[in-house]
Every structure is written in structure tokens, then in C-alpha cells.
């Protein structure tokens, strides 16, 4: 395969096997026609970009039945409010500002610009979540962002002061098209700010469940810097985030236009000492994934032998990788509870574990809960203290937790 960024010839360093669409929660009548592809990650030793080889067509993942709504977590609501405020205070200097967000989902961040009367536009391909954003007063167009859409936006609204994204850039295979679009869209001193799950955190904790169809890339500062340099952008700041189990916020500006924070050199040096630019690191990661799989499957088999009920907590997209890679089905996990109505009453992709409303968990506690929404651990532990105090046990696929 060719690197999606720099066209260098690369090959996958492992396979997670046959995978369905991670957010493809389905009813039983759809089992027969379920879509599968092989999930194979690769690392480019020229531009240092971590990527997956095959990705299903975007229309199979982002559509008018897209199951992921950002607003489901109270912690994430606060996070996006803080993100929006930070962008406003740091980069926007007057009420004339115009901001654009890619993959604005249900408007969870842009509403904090709309609320301040700032001209804004969300570009969101999934019609159902875009409709929810409009209900919150957020100006939204249903489109996939790219160079042409950037031109349309400039023609209609003028150039933007800030282009933002959160947990979106890692979804877009044509990253060069996005960089080109950013170049068209942004004013000379405009900034492109995005955050995504961070490769450094994933390698460190073996949280391989960040790898699934939607996440075609897992970025590092090293790779982002290499991706954007040919398009005339440089990193001017890097801000680690706790969201999604360890994310990075990347701030880019046109080269030479803005002061570069000392964070940039510091974090790039840390990435080099962690070996994020070395192929050997990914061979070790493969071995860590295999060990993690063995540990989790043994843990669940032991629970079953002891006649203990195990349920999953949070029907996350990430759980699709864990369940299918480890081949864990309803024989080991009775059901998965989730607060998202569109997922309830359906089955998990590939392994077909029933997804039930949150109340199925609280009304009849299992012996053990497998925390698939481990990235929301703090929020969930606070909310669920009664489960642990009544003897319930929490487990995750992460060995150290």
C-alpha cells in the first residue's frame, strides 16, 4: 500500500482481523448483509503517520443514521465549552470573526460561538446530527469538507479566522485535501486547531481500541508536522488533553506568521524518545495487543466459569475493535448498556451482543462490568459509586487499570 500522506510504499505491521463498521449497531434482520473489512494498521517510516490500510467508503460510516451524538457526556459538554472559549480568547480579536468547524456533530462546540453572536459555520456530513445542531441555533451545512467546499465557503462568507475540529481529522483519509482546503479557507494569520486521540497515549497504554474504521489515522506531533509542512503550515502549539483517554490539540498557522510555543520542540523530543518515529515501536505494540487480548479473554472465561454475570458498560465504537479482535460474544458478555437511544434494542457490530438501555444495568446489577467507555472513567465512577459499594467489580481491557 502507499502511505495516504506521502505516497511512500508501506505495509501493515499487524492485523486485527475481520471487522464490521464500528458504529454499525444493527437489528437482527440485518445480520446477513453485515459489511466486514480487514482492519490492518500500518506505520510510515518516512512521514511517521500511523494509519489503517483499508477503510470502508465514508457513506457506510457517516449517514443520516449516524449513531454517535457528542452531547451524551456531561464531561464532554464542559470540555467543548472550554475548547470554544479558549479559541475565542486566544485567537479571535473582534466580533467580526468567522469560524468554521469540520465535523461539528450536534453543535456541542459551535453553540459557544453562536451564543456570543460570532459568525460561524459547521460542516457536518451526517444529516441527523446536523439537524440536532440546527435545533441548538448552530449554522450547519451537510457536507464532507474539502478544497471545493472551502472555495464555496470563502465565496459566501469570506475567509475564516479559525478552522477547528475535534475527533474528526483522524476520520478523513484525504488529509492532503483537508490541508489544501484549510489553506484556501484561512486568512493569512488564521489558525487551524484540531484535537484527536493521541498516538503517544495509545502506544503507551496499549489502547488499541482507538483503531477502528473511522480512525484512519492516529496522529502524533511528528506526523502532523510532516503532513502540513508541504501545505505551508507549521505547528505553533501542542496541548495534551485528557479526552478520549489521551488526546492532543494541534495548533497550526501559516509558516512564519505566528510565534511558536516551546511546547512544540518539547513534545516532539518526547515523541522521539518514546520511539514514535521508529518501526520497532509498532512491532512491540503488536505484541502488547496480543498480550492484552489473552489477558481479557482469560479474565472473561474465568468469570463465566465462576458463574458471574458480566455486562459491558457503554456501547462505544472502540468496543467493536475489542470484541471482534478478541472474538468476545454474548456467551461471555450478557449485554452492553448504553444511554444513546439509537443504539438501544440493537446488537453490537460483528459479535452481536444485545445493547440495552442504561436502566438494564442499574435495575439488575451484574457481578462484573466491563467498562468500554473507559475514556469517561472519572465521570462514570462518580455516577456509579453504588455499583462498586454493593460489591460490583469493574474491569477494562487495559492491563494497568
Partner touching 375 among ligand TYD, Zn ion, none, CB below 5 to 8 Å by kind:
ligand TYD
Among 202, 315, 328, 351, binds ligand TYD (CB under 6 A): 315
Closest CA to 45 of 80, 75, 6: 6
DSSP letter string, 253-300: EETTSSPPPHHHHHHHHHHHHTTTT-HHHHHHHHHHHHHHHHHHHHHH
DSSP state of 339: S
Q: What are phi and psi of 221, to 5 degrees?
A: -65, -40
Stretch that binds ligand TYD, among 44-52, 224-232, 322-330, 370-378 (CB under 6 A): 370-378
Partner touching 370 among ligand TYD, Zn ion, none, CB below 5 to 8 Å by kind:
none
Q: Does 318 help bind ligand TYD (rule: CB under 6 A)?
A: yes
CB of 7 to ligand TYD, least distance (A): 29
State which residue, 99 or 168, has the beta carbon closest to ligand TYD. Answer: 168
Number of residues that bind ligand TYD (CB under 6 A): 17
Burial of 102 (0-12, 13-18, 19+ CB in 10 A): buried
What is the distance between the terminal CA atoms of the chain, rounded to a whole angstrom?
36
Q: Does 373 help bind ligand TYD (rule: CB under 6 A)?
A: yes
Among 339, 357, 377, 394, binds ligand TYD (CB under 6 A): 339
Among 380, 387, 396, 398, binds ligand TYD (CB under 6 A): 380
State which residue, 161 or 338, has the beta carbon closest to ligand TYD. Answer: 338
Q: Taking a C-beta distance cutoff of 8 angstroms, is the pair 218, 141 a contact?
A: no
Among 106, 213, 271, 338, binds ligand TYD (CB under 6 A): 338
CB of 124 to ligand TYD, least distance (A): 16
Q: Does 72 help bind ligand TYD (rule: CB under 6 A)?
A: yes
**Cβ neighbours of 32 (radius 10 Å):** 6
Q: Does 375 help bind ligand TYD (rule: CB under 6 A)?
A: yes
Site for ligand TYD in 126-185 (CB under 6 A): none
Cα separations in angstroms, 393 against 74, 292, 309, 384: 24, 19, 11, 11
Closest CA to 333 of 350, 306, 363, 308: 308
Q: Does 379 help bind ligand TYD (rule: CB under 6 A)?
A: yes
Closest CA to 231 of 279, 174, 273, 275: 174
Q: Which residues bind ligand TYD (CB under 6 A)?
A: 68, 72-73, 314-318, 338-340, 358, 373, 375-376, 379-380
Amino acid at each position: 500500500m502507499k502511505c495516504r500522506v506521502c505516497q511512500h510504499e508501506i505495509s501493515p505491521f499487524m492485523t486485527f482481523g475481520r471487522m464490521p463498521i464500528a458504529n454499525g449497531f444493527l437489528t437482527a434482520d440485518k445480520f446477513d448483509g453485515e459489511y466486514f473489512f480487514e482492519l490492518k494498521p500500518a506505520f510510515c517510516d518516512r512521514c511517521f503517520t500511523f494509519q489503517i490500510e483499508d477503510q470502508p467508503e465514508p457513506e457506510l460510516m457517516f449517514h443520516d443514521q449516524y449513531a454517535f451524538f457528542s452531547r451524551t457526556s456531561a464531561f464532554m459538554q464542559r470540555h467543548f465549552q472550554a475548547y470554544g472559549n479558549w479559541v475565542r480568547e486566544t485567537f479571535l480579536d473582534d466580533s467580526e470573526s468567522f469560524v468554521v468547524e469540520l465535523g461539528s456533530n450536534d453543535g456541542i462546540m459551535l453553540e459557544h460561538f453562536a451564543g456570543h453572536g460570532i459568525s460561524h459555520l459547521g460542516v457536518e456530513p451526517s444529516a441527523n446530527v446536523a439537524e440536532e445542531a440546527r435545533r441548538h441555533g448552530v449554522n450547519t451545512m451537510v457536507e464532507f469538507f474539502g478544497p471545493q467546499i472551502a472555495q464555496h465557503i470563502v465565496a459566501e462568507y469570506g475567509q475564516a479566522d479559525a478552522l477547528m475540529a475535534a475527533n474528526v481529522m483522524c476520520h478523513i483519509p484525504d488529509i492532503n485535501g483537508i490541508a489544501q482546503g484549510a489553506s484556501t479557507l484561512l486568512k493569512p494569520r488564521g489558525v487551524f486547531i484540531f484535537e484527536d486521540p493521541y498516538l503517544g497515549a495509545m502506544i503507551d497504554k496499549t489502547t488499541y481500541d482507538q483503531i477502528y474504521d473511522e480512525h484512519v489515522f492516529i496522529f502524533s506531533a511528528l506526523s502532523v508536522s510532516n503532513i502540513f509542512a508541504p501545505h505551508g503550515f507549521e505547528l505553533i502549539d501542542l496541548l495534551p488533553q485528557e479526552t478520549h483517554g489521551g488526546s492532543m490539540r494541534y495548533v497550526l498557522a501559516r509558516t512564519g506568521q505566528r510565534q511558536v510555543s516551546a511546547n512544540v520542540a518539547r513534545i516532539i523530543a518526547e515523541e522521539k524518545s518514546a520511539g514514535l518515529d521508529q518501526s520497532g515501536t509498532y512491532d512491540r505494540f503488536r505484541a502488547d495487543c496480543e498480550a492484552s487480548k489473552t489477558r481479557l479473554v482469560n479474565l472473561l472465561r474465568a468469570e463465566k466459569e465462576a458463574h458471574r454475570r458480566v455486562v459491558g458498560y457503554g456501547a462505544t465504537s472502540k468496543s467493536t475493535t475489542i470484541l471482534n479482535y478478541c472474538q468476545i460474544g454474548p456467551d461471555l458478555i450478557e449485554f452492553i448498556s448504553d444511554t444513546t437511544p439509537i443504539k438501544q434494542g440493537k446488537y453490537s457490530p460483528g459479535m452481536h451482543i444485545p445493547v440495552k438501555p442504561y436502566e438494564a444495568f442499574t435495575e439488575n446489577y451484574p457481578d462484573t462490568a466491563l467498562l468500554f467507555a473507559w475514556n469517561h472513567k472519572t465521570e462514570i465512577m462518580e455516577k456509579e459509586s453504588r455499583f462498586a459499594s454493593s460489591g460490583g467489580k469493574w474491569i477494562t481491557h487495559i492491563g494497568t487499570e
